[in-house]
Chain A
Amino acid sequence: MTLAPADYLAAWPEILLLTMVCVILIADLFLRDDQRSTTFGLTVATLIACAAVVVVSARPEVSHALNGMFVDDPLADTLKIMVFIAVAAMLIYSRGYVAARGMYRGEFFTLVLFATLGMMVMISANHLLSLYLGLELLSLSLYALVALQRDSKDNTEAAMKYFVLGALASGMLLYGMSMIYGATGQLEIPRIAQVIADGKANGTILVFGLVFLVAGIGFKLGAVPFHMWVPDVYQGAPTAVALLISSAPKLAAFAFVMRLLVEALGAASLLTEWRQMLILLAVASMAVGNITAIAQTNLKRMLAYSTISHMGFLLLGVLAGDQNGYGAAMFYVAVYTLTSLGAFGMIMLLAREGFEADRLEDFKGLNRRSPWYAFVMLLLMFSMAGVPPTVGFYAKLSVLQAVVNAGQIWLAVVAVIFSLVGAFYYLRVVRLMYFDDPVDTTPIRADAGARVLLSINGLAALVIGIVPGWLMTLCQRAIQTSL
């Protein structure tokens, strides 16, 4: 196996990130606890540098590298930049939070960076093995992050559940992949597609493998009926980690779906097969997610169910089965990441030492305590509910028009009805913030970085809502040039 300079060039951001993780890992050993901000600074700088590298090296065409293991295309570039932004924002939001809980250590940062590397590999995977490798790197880092507070019973329990169910899902994926390999004799994604297109693959085995793949994807996305881990992990994990799990990995999971279902198994005959499966997953996710969220009193748990319903909506875009739909789904997942970051960021803003601020009632009367942050949260909640002029509406609009365009009007009707159900619990947060009097009157103390970024995040939900065109075009172009 020989590697040409072009191979290194394509994987430049990954190589840089890996190098920096090693540097940070070692450098941190020589730092005292009060110098930890150096590690923090290095980590954020690494993410920014990687983003810069991706921007500089972005090319508008598809190029394969590393003997067909790796692909560099606009889809990968766009998603990677979003991942860097999301992870950097997560680090800034959670700085005070992790410091107050004894997690402000080198491991936290290296694990987060390893998880990021895993996402990058997933996003750029052109081979079932690299896809799986990236997924496992991400998952293992996340399991460890959930359990980072060794002494916390909740965290350990959540990590255990996450690990066991995650391992099960990985097993399913691997099994499905082996079926695909059995049917096509190929592991490289474009070649799999080629063999299927040539009609040389055994249809029965292929569909059998597909079922396992969809189940695995369902687990990773947290779609019903494979969603059981989501609420427990979100609630049990430290909020900083729950934020990480709920944001950037969804972008990677979207890439995963695109690579597997669309690039490898996107042939018309298979599309009808997985479309039916996704319809079931999507409708069930929207139903269970939205209805169960109503009954929650814990905000993190509520957001977990909300994530489930959002993943259902995301799948709607995918199952439209054309570029229009994939572009819509990509826009949706980008918007979801933005709002999810903000919502968890708000929880951490209100949290302080020994107080998690993750119950709904902790948000009571926020408008009296801090009108500005109440407004930020209001924008985020209305965005999640999909009320214009916030950006969440355009995300729903894109997906709905893709679904209608694909001739599935009834699905669009089902989706809007469940959105209505969803609006109820998002409204409840607004209601508590604005209509009730505060129980907790402690002044909000968070570092300036988190405050400023959170304000930007909330305003972005409104401003991108007023001018959403560029982001839509960006997503659509990435899909069109890559798939």
Chain B
Amino acid sequence: MNGGLPLLTLAIWTPILAGLVVLATGSDRNAATARWLALAGAILGFVVTLPLASGFDVTARAMQFVELKDWIERYHIRYHLGIDGISLLLILLNSFTTILVVIAGWKVIDSRVAQYLAAFLVMSGLMNGVFAAMDAMLFYVFFEATLIPMFLVIGVWGGPNRVYAAVKFFLYTLLGSLLMLVALIYLYHAAGGSFSIAAFHELPLAMTAQVLIFLAFLVAFAVKVPMWPVHTWLPDAHVEAPTGGSVVLAAIALKLGGYGFIRFSLPIVPDASHALSGLMIGLSLIAVVYIGLVALVQTDMKKLIAYSSISHMGFVTLGLFLFDRLGVEGAVIQMISHGFVSGALFLCVGVLYDRLHSRQIADYGGVVNRMPVFAAFFMLFAMANAGLPGTSGFVGEFMVIMAAVKANFWIAFAAATTLIFGAAYTLWMYKRVVFGAVANPHVGELQDIEAREWLFLALLAIAVLAMGLYPAPFNAVLETPVGDLLAHVAKTKIPGN
């Protein structure tokens, strides 16, 4: 089916090697070469993932494109790759986003260009590794390794408070993943010396152990998602990161958390997941409602989008812990959609920031007078963020709310408030930035978007509309893995039952 090529290995290592090549161009004298090489690498990285999509069998129940080699025999750690529909979508999203990030940083980044672009390419490869890993230790290595380039991206090219944000980002995420490491080691011994995720899925575990493992995973993934109350690193990181960093953080890095819940928490400790679903739903609703309100009062555009991200990711965790097909599928679709929409919004803010060097809403006003094309794109993405039917933002949220209605009316009610708050904070921001009179002489000098910006915004606009108008392919890809996941989670793993 895949012609014998190790497609997943290519998907992981092509961007990483491209990153090393870019890095080798060295100083900023060769910045132009570095940019073109990076673009070529990013496109190549995307192209090698396309056969994954074309060769993917939506009805197959097993993992596909499996590769298996011994890696560290001493601990039976294996280089074991494979994907299902969920991984496939995330890998495609990731490789696609990398191209946008390279284009978005084209002119804006002018110091240490090669290092900047290399960091994103390497990160892209590592993220693909996370989504393709079938061995828990391989997963962990990729999961952690992504921190290093992200840390540097925020810290080197970020805003004024970048050092604080970078360190906070790193330590927060490290805290979570270290506890997960202990849980994985425990599972390794419990499984008789294997780090295979599939073996973990079948492993019987007593309730106490399940709860403790669930909590360890929860810390790791909740920090990544991020869930309330461990979300505070995100606004800082987003605000300080360069545009490309914010895009990757929002579009990809946050998905690691949701993906972790799907791949680890739910199937490995299903009983604990059921037992603690109330807690998870509660935390998710707090994220949806409370963080939605917090977003309303932000005066900084990036911060507003960051909080809106947290609120939207609340839908992901909510959907997952409703244990309903609609909910889980909705959660995954919401992850993908959020990748497009939040990425697009950060890029829009980036477009404005590159011109005026301000992220404050108050510094803008009347942008539409000078940048009509940009305003149209921005409008589309704002609407998608608010969950307007016909855009990708609507599909996931709608599915999750449907699932919530089945579970409990009040959960659905609380979740549905997002349709109001989401619309309120997004559109209010949009109104203040884009409409009105030209509030500020600098706004009067704005130039509309150039071809480069037009390109990445148009690509995203197509993605957002396509997904919103015709989500069927996504549902088709997700149907089998989500069905299997739910069937697996429904069975207890407590020994003796």
Contacts and interface: CB of A to CB of B under 8 A. Distances in A.
Interface of A: 367, 371, 378, 382, 387-389, 393-394, 397-398, 400-401, 404-405, 409, 412-413, 416-417, 419-420, 423-424, 427, 430-431, 434-435, 467-469, 472-473, 476
Contacts of B70: 469
B178 A431 contact: no
A404 B166 CA distance: 32
22 contacts: A367-B112, A378-B148, A387-B144, A387-B147, A397-B181, A398-B75, A401-B188, A404-B182, A412-B185, A413-B179, A416-B178, A416-B181, A417-B178, A423-B174, A424-B171, A431-B163, A431-B166, A435-B155, A435-B163, A468-B72, A469-B71, A472-B72
Nearest to A418: B178
Nearest to B182: A412
Contact of B162 (A393, A409, A435): A435
A398 B112 CA distance: 37
B148 A409 contact: no
B86 to A, nearest CB: 23
A404 B182 CA distance: 8
Contact of B186 (A394, A404, A416, A420): A404
Given A387-B148, A401-B185, A435-B162, A427 B170 contact: yes
A260 to B, nearest CB: 26
Contacts of A420: 171, 174-175, 178
B185 to A, nearest CB: 5
Nearest to B212: A409
B171 A371 contact: no
A45 B75 CA distance: 37
Interface string B153-168: 0011000001100110
Contact of A427 (B112, B167, B178, B188): B167
Nearest to B72: A469
Interface string B128-164: 0000000001001100110110011001100000110
Contact of A389 (B112, B141, B151, B181): B141
Nearest to A434: B156
B171 A387 contact: no
Nearest to B129: A389
Given A388-B141, A404-B185, 13 more contacts: A388-B144, A388-B145, A394-B72, A397-B181, A400-B181, A401-B188, A404-B186, A412-B182, A413-B179, A413-B182, A419-B178, A431-B167, A472-B72
B74 A401 contact: no
B115 interface: yes
Contacts of A389: 141, 145
Given A371-B26, A388-B145, A472-B72, A431 B181 contact: no
Nearest to A419: B178
A321 B188 CA distance: 19
A367 B72 CA distance: 33
Contacts of B181: 397, 400, 416
Given A400-B181, A404-B182, A472-B75, A371 B115 contact: yes
B450 interface: no
A416 to B, nearest CB: 4
A391 B220 CA distance: 22
A389 B174 CA distance: 14
A400 B26 CA distance: 39
Contacts of A435: 155-156, 162-163, 166
Nearest to A406: B189
Contact of B189 (A405, A416, A468): A405
B188 A388 contact: no
A371 B162 CA distance: 20
B155 A401 contact: no
Nearest to B179: A416
B172 to A, nearest CB: 10
Contacts of A423: 170-171, 174
Contacts of A427: 151, 167, 170-171
A53 B175 CA distance: 46
A419 B182 CA distance: 12
B141 A393 contact: yes
Interface string B174-214: 11001101100110110000000000000000000000000
A427 B75 CA distance: 29
Contacts of A413: 179, 182
A367 B137 CA distance: 31
Contacts of A476: 74
Specify which of B72, B112, B182, B186 lies most central, judged by the most chain A CB atoms within 10 Å of its CB: B182
